[in-house]
Amino acid sequence: MKIILDSRTVVIVQMLSRLYLACSAYVFMEWLFFVTKPSILSYYTVAEKVSVIFLSPLLIFISLLPVVLLFFAIDKWLIKNDRLKLVAAVPVLIYASIIFLLAENFSNTLFGLYSGSFQGAGRYVYLVAFIALMLFLYRQSIKVKGSALPGTSPIMAAGCIIIGIVFAITGRSDNSAGPISTDLGSDSNLPNILILSSDGINRRNMSAYGYERDTTPFIKSLMEHSLVSDNHFSNSSYTGASVISLLTGKLPATTGVVYQPDGLRGVDAYEHLPGILQKVGYTNADISVRYYADALDMNMLESFQVANDHSRINNIFTELYSPLFSRYSEQSVFLKQSLDRISSRLLHIAGIKDFADVYEMVTAEKLGISLSIDDSRIQQLFDFMEENSEPYFVHLHLLGTHGPRFSPVDPLYSQGQQQTENHMRDFYDDAIRDYDNYVSEIYSFLEEKGTLENTLIIINSDHSRNPNVGLPIPLIMKFPDNQYSGVIEASTQRIDLAPTILDYLGITKPEWMEGRSLLVPDEDPGLIFAYAPLSIDYISGVGWTVMDPKPPFYTLNNVFVMNCQRIYQLKISQHTFTNRAISGYSNPCSKDELLSKSEIAKALLTHLIERDYEILSLAWLADLVPDLDDYFSISRGANIEKYFSKSTATVTGDILYLPAVEYQQGLYAAVLSKNDTGDFVIVDLQTPLNTDNIFRFDKATGSLLLNQSDVDGETRNLRLSLISTNPAVFRLAIAE
Ligand SMILES: [Zn+2]
C-alpha cells in the first residue's frame, strides 16, 4: 500500500512539473513573438522583460491550479489506479496551442494566411487538425506511465518556480487606485449615465451646430435643454487613446497610451471612471470595437462588467485573480494579450466566435461589409439595459461614421451615388444622419422603459474626421430635469467628461484626474493638449501598428497645443513646429489674450518633462523658437546633460525639497531655498542612495563639481538649476 502511495506521489509531482514546464514553454514562445515586434514589451526595461519570462508561468500555473486539483480529484475517483488521464490533458492543450500558434505565425509570414482568414468551412479544417494534434500529443503523454518527459523535469520545474518566486517577491508593486470620497447618501438615487459616442464626427457637419444640411434633427431638438460645448476638442487623433483619455480623465502623454501597442500600465490600469462608478454601485458596459477602442484590450482593469465580446467567464476569471494580477501589472498586460491571441483563434476555428477583422469592419473598404455595423451595437445596448439593474454606466462607441468609406443605412444625400473616393461628404453626412437616428432610438427606448428622467445622456465623438484633432467635435450633455442647460463657449476637451460626471454625482475628483468639471462655468480652460502617433502601417493579421516604438517618445510623434482659436503642432520626427487657426472656432480670443509662440513652446516642453519624457532630442526647437535656452543649455547640443521633473517635489515654507533626482544611475536629493529675490536656489545636494559621492556641492558658486576620476580624468563643473517651481523642473548642464 505504501509503495502505491509513493508512486502516486511521484506521478503527481511529475504531472505538476510537466504542467509548469508547459506554462513556461508557452510564455517563452509568446515572449519571443512579442519581443521581436512592436508590442507592449517595447516599453519594458530589460529587468521587466526578463521577469515576464519567469513570473508569468507562475501566474498561469497558480491560476490553473483549481482546475488541475479538480481534475486530480476526478481522476482519483474515476480511475482507480495511478494513471492521471484528465489532468494529463491540461499540459497537452498548452503544447498543442504552442504548436498551433507557431504554425499560424509561420503561414502568416510566408503566405499571409492564418486561421482567421477562413470564414467559412475552411476554419473547420483547422479545428480537425487541432483536435488530431491534441489526440496525438495526449497519446504520447499517457503512453509512459506518469510521464512522457525526461526524468529531470521536476528539477527543471523546481528551478523555474524558484526563479519565478524570486521575481514575484521583488517585482511586487502596489497598484491600488486609492480611496474615493463621495457625499452620496445611502438612499441616493444614482442616475444612469450613457456616453453615446460616434467615431470621427465634425461638429460643423451637424445641423445641431448650424450645418445647412439637416443631418442631426433629433440631436438638434435636445440642444435647448442640454449643456452644450461650442468648442470641444479631442485629446488624440487615435480612437484608442481618445477613449482611454475619456475614461481616465488623463492625457495620453500621462498614461503613455498614444497608439497601438500601448496599454495602461502600473497604477494607470486601475485609475479610471468606470472603476470609481463600479465602487459606488454602477454596472458598466463598454460597447465599442475590440482592439482599437476596447478598454479591456488596453488593460483597463476592474472597469467594465460587460465589454464587447469579452466573455463574462473571462471577466469573472480576471476579477477572481485580480488581487494576484494587480500586483504584477507588467505580467498581466502581457498575459492578457497573449492569452487573447490563442483564445480568439481557438474560438474562431471551433465556430463559436468569428475572428473579427476589425480593419475591414471599421474602414468599410469592402463596400457593404459594415452595412448596419452599428445595429448590433444598439441591440447590445438595449439587451444590456434590459438585463441589468440600474444604475448603469455605458460607453457606446459607434463606427458608422468612421470612414474612409461609409455604408449609410438610409442614404439621402448620397442616394444613387457611387463612392469613388475616400471621405465623400454626401456619404459622411448620411452616416451622421444614421447616428442621429440611433440616438433617437435610444431616447425612445429610455422613454418607454420610464428611465429617461433618471439618465444623463452625453453626445460626443472621439476625434474629428479623417482622423484629426484640430477641428471641434460635438459635446452635448442632457442632464435629468434639464439641469445645467446652457452653452460653454470656452474650449473644453475630452478629459473633462470624467470630472464632470463625478462632479454631477457628488464624488470628489481624484488627484490623478487631469480634466476639469464643466459644471463650473467660465473657468479658464488653460491650454489643451492633444497627440497623434508616428506614421501608421497596417499589417495583415496584426492590424494597424506603428513601426518600432523607441524611446524617448515611443509611439508619440505629434503634440498639439490649442490656445483658444490657435493650434500649434510639434512634429517630432519631422522637426517642425507650426501653427494655424482652428477652423470654425466660435469664440475667438483677442490678440492680447493669446500666448506667444515662445510661451507655447515652453509650456509644451514643460508638459513633456512633467510626464517624464526626455526632451533633449528636441533641441532643434530652439532654432525655431527664441528664448528656449533655459531648456536646451546655452551651447546647445553637446553640453546638455539632463532635465528632471518630479511631481513629488514638496515645498515647505521657503524650502523646496526634491526627494530624488536621477543622474548617471545615481539618486540624489536636492534641497532648495528661496533667496532674497524670491527665487529658489539650491542650498544642498544629498546622495542618500549612493555611497559614492561623485558630486561635490559648491555653496559659493551654487554649482556641482564632478569628481575628476569620473569622466576620463577631466574635471567638469555641472550646474543644477531650477527652471520652474510648479511643477519643479530642473536642468543639469555643464557650467560655463
Ligand atoms: Zn476614431
List strand residue ranges (DSSP E) for 547-688, in order: 556-563, 566-571, 576-581, 640-645, 650-652, 655-663, 666-674, 680-686
| CA 362–ligand 1 middle distance (angstroms) | 9
User: Considering the domain boundaries, does residue 447 fall inside one?
Assistant: no
| CA 686–ligand 1 middle distance (angstroms) | 48
Least confident of 570-579, 606-615, 627-636, 661-670: 661-670
Q: What is the pLDDT of residues 564-585, one digit of tens each?
A: 999 999 998 888 899 999 999 9
User: Considering the domain boundaries, does residue 60 fall inside one?
Assistant: yes
Give DSSP secondary structure letters for 38-95.
SSGGGGS-HHHHHHHHHHHHHHHHHHHHHHHHHHHHHHHHHS-SS--TTTTHHHHHHH
Q: What is the pLDDT of residues 678-718, one digit of tens each?
A: 665 666 655 433 334 444 555 565 555 544 334 444 444 55
The mean pLDDT value for 56-85 works out to 82
User: Considering the domain boundaries, does residue 532 fall inside one?
Assistant: no
| CA 462–ligand 1 middle distance (angstroms) | 5
| CA 492–ligand 1 middle distance (angstroms) | 18
| CA 463–ligand 1 middle distance (angstroms) | 6
User: Considering the domain boundaries, does residue 665 fall inside one?
Assistant: yes
Q: What is the mean pLDDT of the chain?
A: 81
User: Considering the domain boundaries, does residue 500 fall inside one?
Assistant: no
Report the Cα 130 to chain-centroid distance in Å: 33
| CA 234–ligand 1 middle distance (angstroms) | 10
Beta-carbon-side half-sphere exposure of residue 593 (alpha carbons within 13 Å): 13
| CA 202–ligand 1 middle distance (angstroms) | 12
| CA 357–ligand 1 middle distance (angstroms) | 16
| CA 424–ligand 1 middle distance (angstroms) | 17
Residue at a domain's end among 170, 189, 210: 170
| CA 316–ligand 1 middle distance (angstroms) | 29
User: Considering the domain boundaries, does residue 638 fall inside one?
Assistant: yes
| CA 175–ligand 1 middle distance (angstroms) | 29
Least confident of 186-190, 336-340, 591-595: 186-190
| CA 494–ligand 1 middle distance (angstroms) | 13
| CA 374–ligand 1 middle distance (angstroms) | 14
| CA 460–ligand 1 middle distance (angstroms) | 12
Residue at a domain's end among 170, 201, 234: 170
Task: Please check the confidence at residue 105 and state whether its pLDDT lies above 60.
Answer: yes
The mean pLDDT value for 28-36 works out to 91
pLDDT of res. 693 = 40
Task: Give the integer Cα–Cα distance in Å for 345 and 355.
Answer: 7
Helix, strand or coil, per DSSP, at residue 475: strand
User: Considering the domain boundaries, does residue 436 fall inside one?
Assistant: no
Q: Which of 158-172, 268-282, 356-370 has the highest mean pLDDT?
A: 268-282
User: Considering the domain boundaries, does residue 384 fall inside one?
Assistant: no
| CA 159–ligand 1 middle distance (angstroms) | 47
| CA 464–ligand 1 middle distance (angstroms) | 8
Beta-carbon-side half-sphere exposure of residue 599 (alpha carbons within 13 Å): 8
Q: Give this prediction's pTM.
A: 0.79
| CA 527–ligand 1 middle distance (angstroms) | 23
The mean pLDDT value for 13-19 works out to 87
| CA 508–ligand 1 middle distance (angstroms) | 30
Q: What is the pLDDT of residues 210-225, one digit of tens each?
A: 999 999 999 999 999 9
Q: Which domain holds residue 44?
A: 2-170
| CA 680–ligand 1 middle distance (angstroms) | 45
| CA 392–ligand 1 middle distance (angstroms) | 24
Confidence of residue 347 (pLDDT cuts 50, 70, 90): confident
Q: Are 341 and 297 in contact (CB under 8 A)?
A: no
Residue 468 DSSP one-character state: B
Residue at a domain's end among 116, 150, 170: 170
pLDDT of res. 635 = 33
C-alpha cell at 138: 495526449
pLDDT of res. 148 = 46
**In this prediction, what percent of the chain has a pLDDT beyond 70?**
75
| Total of domains in the chain | 2
Q: Which of 76-85, 95-104, 720-729 has the highest mean pLDDT?
A: 95-104
pLDDT of res. 328 = 81
